[in-house]
């Protein structure tokens, strides 16, 4: 009797609780997305309220100085800093340069809304060059072509571009010169791999590699379909999914639809040049046995499309087969490098770090990490438990393993640090349970551990070969701080003299100049 009564009470309670909730669910109004509210917090809207929050230095090539732009509620201001003298000053008087620009452009510029784009130092670094966009509409070949195309399609929309003025400004005497006949260099197309001396341009097409000289590259910049452009084949054995360009783990990002659309176009290849432009290296990936992955492109126009690319899933037997190749551009030949060690291994050629004072260059060539006659790469086992840091000497047919990393868990890696062109090597490793730096000779023999202790070294910031000092970022070393806060340190190659360079209970971001004399800390 009591059990029946309890069951009834529970059942009644359940219904008493659920009934109002059901009614509430039926009466609840539909909630609409508030896109306007979300838009208020977009990056473009926040930029108008927050302005600049860090100093982003542009280090100069001919001195230890750097410049930066800083924006506040008072507008943008440009500064030049001489750390050797401990001086910072405005690069120019905003009011004066705004007035001078207004006289030429015929648009009213003011100090607070001074829009200078593509600023860079030129000549003896007492001159700067920049561009200003006016309100004046102009017709260019590109905009005229767009208008003609619109007219052909019956559209009434007009494509217009604003006239851009180019200037040079002398920082010492305030002279402003308009560059009336200046032609801005065109952006390097994605397909072009330009040699360091700019004489050769390498690209992919139809699964193979081709090259052209500088004169023909200039033609291609004007019109990529120019029939007079002379191209030369570097390879002839490339086939679909075993190409010299655009394979990669996901088919180079090209689906079956993209490949059909772009089959005759020039394409980029991941090339690493020697500094003297005589050689380059690449890793060729054979994806022919890798299985297809099918996806639906739901936003394709006008209807969704079924697309596929090569993709290796975890545990699958079929995997890419990678080959390391070196090309000799003095006689336009290439050689396969014996680099095999692990089944289903991955090969990754290291690129040389980009000098800080080259950030404003029109384009930067990807150099291999090394010298004119040798470069470095990593080979990794499929389970990520074994990684070898290897060296290839130009002219050799086989790679040499220098440093071998082995762990029962997956191995993380960082780019090798070269001392005096590779006479010594600095390796980042977690072999003692913490991430630290180790010094090896050029043949891969361990000389000594540079850093040690219960903290994490993150990356190499700079190497001073002459003073034998390593500059690096690390965290979890300073007591009482958030262990994720990053700091800059220096240490001698022998492990002595470990010094914190940017004290403060904050997370730090640092930019060091190429001479390793100064750094900017945010």
How far apart, in Å, are the Cα atoms of 511 and each of 82, 357, 435, 500?
15, 11, 22, 15
The pTM for the full model equals: 0.86
Assess whether pLDDT exceeds 60 at residue 271.
yes
- Distance in angstroms (rounded) separating the CA atoms of residues 455 and 475: 6
How high is the pLDDT of residue 158?
A: 53
Look at residue 354 and tell me if it is in a domain.
Answer: no
Give kind and range of the element (H or E) at residue 470. strand 469-475
The answer to whether residue 287 sits within a structural domain is no
27 in a structural domain: no
* 12 — pLDDT class (breaks 50, 70, 90): very low
pLDDT of residue 396: 96
**How much is the pLDDT for 21?**
47
Mark which of 178, 193, 218 sits at the end of a domain: 178
Compute the radius of gyration of the chain from its Cα atoms: 30
For the chain, give the percent of residues with pLDDT over 70.
89
The percentage of residues in the chain with a pLDDT greater than 90, rounded to a whole number, is: 80
Q: Is residue 153 part of a domain?
A: yes
- How many domains are contained in the chain? 2
Specify the pLDDT at position 147.
46
326: confidence class by pLDDT, cuts 50, 70, 90: very high
Looking at 45-96, which runs of residues are DSSP E strands?
A: 58-59, 66-72, 75-82, 87-90
SS (H, E, C) 272-332: EECCCCCEEEEEEEECCCCCEEEEEECCCCCCCEEEEEECCCCCCCCCCEEEEEEEECCCC
Q: Is residue 355 part of a domain?
A: no
252, pLDDT greater than 60: no
Please report the beta strands in 101-196, taking only residues with DSSP state E, as ranges in sequence order.
Answer: 117-122, 127-138, 161-170, 176-178, 193-194
User: Of 178, 198, 224, which residue sits at a domain end?
Assistant: 178
Residue 272 domain-assigned (yes or no): no
Nearest to 398 by CA among 443, 339, 325, 323: 339
Tell me which of 178, 200, 234 is where a domain ends: 178
Which of 3-12, 195-204, 259-268, 348-357 is the least confident region?
3-12
Give the domain range for residue 124. 45-178
Q: What is the pLDDT of residue 445?
A: 98
pLDDT digits (tens, 9 = 90+) for 29-80: 778 899 999 998 998 888 878 899 999 999 999 999 999 999 998 999 999 9
In-domain check, residue 62: yes
**Residue 336 placed within a domain:** no
* Long-range contacts of the stretch 456-465 (C-beta < 8 A, 24+): 457/428, 458/486, 459/414, 459/428, 460/414, 460/415, 460/417, 460/426, 460/428, 461/488, 461/510, 461/512, 461/519, 462/512, 462/516, 463/417, 463/418, 463/419, 463/426, 463/516, 464/516, 465/419, 465/420
- The confidence score (pLDDT) of residue 264 equals 85
- Does residue 154 register a pLDDT over 60? no
């Amino acid at each position: 009797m009591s059990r029946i009564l309890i069951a009834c009470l529970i059942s009644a309670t359940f219904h008493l609780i659920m009934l109002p909730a059901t009614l509430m669910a039926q009466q609840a109004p539909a909630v609409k997305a508030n896109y306007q509210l979300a838009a208020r917090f977009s990056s473009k809207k926040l930029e108008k309220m927050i302005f600049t929050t860090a100093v982003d230095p542009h280090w100069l090539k001919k001195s230890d100085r750097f410049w930066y732009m800083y924006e506040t509620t008072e507008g943008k201001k440009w500064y030049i800093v001489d750390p050797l003298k401990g001086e910072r000053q405005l690069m120019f008087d905003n009011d004066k340069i705004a007035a001078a620009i207004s006289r030429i452009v015929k648009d009213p510029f003011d100090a607070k809304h001074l829009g200078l784009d593509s600023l860079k130092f030129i000549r003896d670094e007492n001159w700067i060059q920049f561009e200003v966009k006016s309100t004046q509409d102009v017709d260019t070949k590109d905009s005229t072509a767009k208008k003609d195309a619109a007219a052909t399609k019956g559209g009434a929309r007009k494509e217009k571009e604003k006239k851009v003025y180019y200037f040079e400004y002398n920082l010492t005497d305030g002279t402003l010169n308009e560059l009336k006949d200046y032609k801005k260099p065109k952006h390097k197309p994605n397909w072009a791999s330009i040699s360091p001396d700019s004489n050769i341009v390498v690209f992919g097409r139809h699964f193979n590699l081709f090259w052209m000289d500088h004169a023909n590259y200039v033609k291609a910049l004007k019109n990529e379909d120019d029939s007079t452009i002379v191209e030369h084949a570097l390879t002839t054995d490339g086939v679909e999914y075993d190409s010299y360009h655009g394979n990669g783990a996901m088919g180079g990002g090209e689906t079956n639809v993209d490949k059909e659309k772009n089959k005759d176009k020039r394409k980029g290849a991941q090339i690493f040049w020697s500094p003297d432009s005589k050689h380059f290296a690449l890793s060729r990936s054979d994806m022919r046995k890798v299985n297809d992955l099918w996806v639906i492109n739901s936003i394709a126009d006008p209807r969704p499309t079924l697309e596929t690319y090569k993709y290796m899933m975890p545990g699958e037997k079929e995997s890419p087969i990678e080959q390391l190749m070196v090309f000799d551009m003095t006689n336009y030949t290439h050689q396969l490098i014996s680099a095999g060690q692990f089944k289903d291994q991955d090969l990754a050629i290291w690129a040389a770090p980009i000098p800080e004072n080259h950030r404003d260059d029109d384009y930067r060539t990807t150099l291999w990490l090394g010298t004119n006659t040798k470069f470095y790469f990593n080979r990794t086992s499929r389970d990520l438990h074994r990684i070898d840091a290897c060296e290839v000497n130009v002219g050799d047919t086989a790679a040499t393993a220098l440093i071998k990393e082995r762990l029962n868990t997956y191995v993380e890696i960082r780019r090798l640090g070269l001392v005096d062109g590779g006479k010594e090597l600095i390796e980042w490793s977690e072999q003692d349970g913490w991430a630290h730096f180790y010094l090896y000779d050029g043949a891969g023999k361990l000389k000594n551990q540079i850093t040690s202790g219960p903290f994490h070294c993150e990356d190499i910031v700079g190497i001073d070969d002459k003073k034998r000092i390593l500059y690096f970022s690390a965290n979890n070393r300073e007591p009482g701080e958030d262990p994720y806060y990053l700091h800059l340190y220096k240490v001698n190659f022998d492990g002595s003299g470990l010094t914190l360079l940017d004290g403060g209970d904050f997370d730090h971001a640092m930019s060091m100049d190429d001479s390793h004399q100064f750094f900017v800390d945010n």
